[in-house]
A and B are shown apart, each in its own frame.
Chain A
């Protein structure tokens, strides 16, 4: 298993548990190596990484999970605006990528992060122009069918 996969798994679990008190379990049967293009349904947060590691980190949220996370952090609101949801997804993506960045920096891959971007669509196709790593993970919220997937398209300057 690639180090990035391990780091992302730890980061996603920590962010969900600490900020939203939601426990998630990694779907071990989900393929670690993603084959681009990747088609996502739902809401996607992304942060670009530049430096010794170049690429993009994506968090793909199922719509039901977005509502659950927002309600847990911001309180119940049936008419929550998409902007508030985007804010939460952007912040989660930033936290996961920041965590990954720190771990990669310890291994000598220093990099900088962009401001998060949030995409909505059904479906969204995510492809990679240049990269030697395409890694994915899927997590399932305990006791539900809600999922969150992560994608890391990256090139390491070794």
Chain B
């Protein structure tokens, strides 16, 4: 999948320099001129890398970074900080908040590419290596933990995907697995004896073949020292134990840059698309579904698919976030002249009548009923 890179800087000159630097590579660039805009674009686009200036009006880079790191949806996005101030105090301050790397202005384009290339997989344009990987594609997850139960928990958490888990308790073996299998993501316990996880991480990053593999550290919530240390040396993120399956899935798919649209959108025959909205939708999931709506509806029109069935029948409780999501799908369909129908349980239908936005909406009780005469 083409990496998304967001540049947050108040200077158009810096945006142009960054644009020029990445021009030979297959990347999607986004720009924002201050921290507020940057956070909005980051939430919408979920970039793989943010290049963030320090000195900006409205919201500066340090405040933006602090907000990024405190947002569960954005905290794992690697950040390269751009600063004109090379002083130790400044560098220590931004390192503490959790940047992957920093660049001192003035900088050479090649230096930026070198640093970005350590974080995202930069492929030359036209090389064809940027093909989108989907959540339905096979992937390999390496889990390094001396507790067999944790490896099993990871296996169970990702059981719905065609992913293979390789478990090991030894970092030495894990290094061999990385070299041999080139896994799509690694989870390693931060509390292995002799700081093994940290040494393992540095070896992974030092090897050109494995340097881009997302590596998550695992520990209990209260192991703050290990978490801080892992963040400061550039771990992709921290997974706290006990493992929350939906959080793990969400963060793995994000880190592996997988297209997750297949989780929510599925073809039924040649002309009907089903959009499935899961129950108890979190902000993270709502954002994920929202990010797929526009490209998915555009793709439908281009492929001659003219009907959408919005399936809300899994929902037991209707909330404002769900309504907004449904309205967004309906609006995108209407703009592209895609016909749509909504399916919901009788409970959902009753609750929908209490919202101004949905009180007049016709909701079908089953997919079969909705398909009739559609």
Contacts and interface: CB of A to CB of B under 8 A. Distances in A.
Interface stretch (B83-91, B114-122, B163-171, B253-261): B83-91
A137 interface: no
Interface in A83-115: 84, 87-88, 90-91, 94-95, 97-99, 101-102, 105-106, 110, 113, 115
A74 B84 contact: no
Given A94-B55, A97-B84, A115-B55, A110 B89 contact: yes
Given A102-B86, A102-B90, A87 B106 contact: no
A98 B105 contact: yes
Contact of A106 (B83, B87, B105): B87
Secondary structure type dominating chain B contacts: loop
A91 B13 contact: yes
Given A15-B106, A115-B55, A115-B57, A98 B83 contact: yes
Interface in A54-97: 73-74, 84, 87-88, 90-91, 94-95, 97
B17 to A, nearest CB: 7
B11 A84 contact: no
Contacts of B84: 94-95, 97-99, 101, 113
B107 interface: yes
Interface string B96-110: 000000000111100
A25 B106 CA distance: 18
Majority secondary structure, A binding face: helix
A88 B86 contact: no
B59 interface: no
A18 B107 contact: yes
Contacts, number: 63
Interface string B69-89: 000000000000001111111
A113 B62 CA distance: 14
Contacts of B107: 18
B195 interface: no
A88 B13 contact: yes
A18 B13 contact: no
Contact of A19 (B17, B56, B86): B17
A14 interface: yes
Contacts of A14: 106
B12 interface: yes
A98 to B, nearest CB: 3
Interface string B10-21: 111110110000
Contacts of A97: 84
Contact of A99 (B86, B88, B108): B86
Contacts of B17: 19, 73
Interface in B1-46: 10-14, 16-17
Interface of A: 14-15, 18-19, 73-74, 84, 87-88, 90-91, 94-95, 97-99, 101-102, 105-106, 110, 113, 115
Given A18-B106, A113-B84, 10 more contacts: A19-B17, A73-B13, A98-B85, A99-B85, A101-B87, A102-B86, A105-B85, A106-B88, A113-B85, A115-B57
6 contacts: A18-B106, A91-B11, A94-B105, A98-B86, A101-B84, A102-B85
